[in-house]
Amino acid sequence: MPQAVKIEGMKSTDYSFDFEGSELKYTIQEPTFDQITAALSQVKATGQMDMIGSGKVIWELCCIKADKKIEDNPRVLISVCIELASEFALPVDIEIKKK
């Protein structure tokens, strides 16, 4: 289960999605600079960002609560990790590559 500690004053967002007839929920605290940097460090041998690895870093560092069923199903967790990377790390990665 997520181990992130809630940082007072940091914005958090609740997410939910349907999976096999049940609603799964999780809460992500907005990543800090250091957390986004850690997510961006997940790079494939090709030099491209590893979306699953990047999202997993955000999941581990920023998820302050989640339904146990998310981590119990690898396919669900992979989908969540890709979504987290798309939302938090990918925009920064794209911006860095523009400069």
Strand ranges in the chain using DSSP code E only, listed in sequence order: 12-19, 22-29, 63-66
Q: What is the pTM of this model?
A: 0.87
User: 3-class SS at 96?
Assistant: helix
- Segment 19-24 shows an average pLDDT of 94
- Any bridge partners for residue 66, and if so which? 26
Domain range list for the chain: 12-98
What confidence score (pLDDT) does residue 97 get?
A: 82
pLDDT one-digit tens code per residue, 62-84: 999 999 999 999 999 999 999 99
- Token digits of residue 31: 């990543």
% of the chain surpassing 70 pLDDT:
97
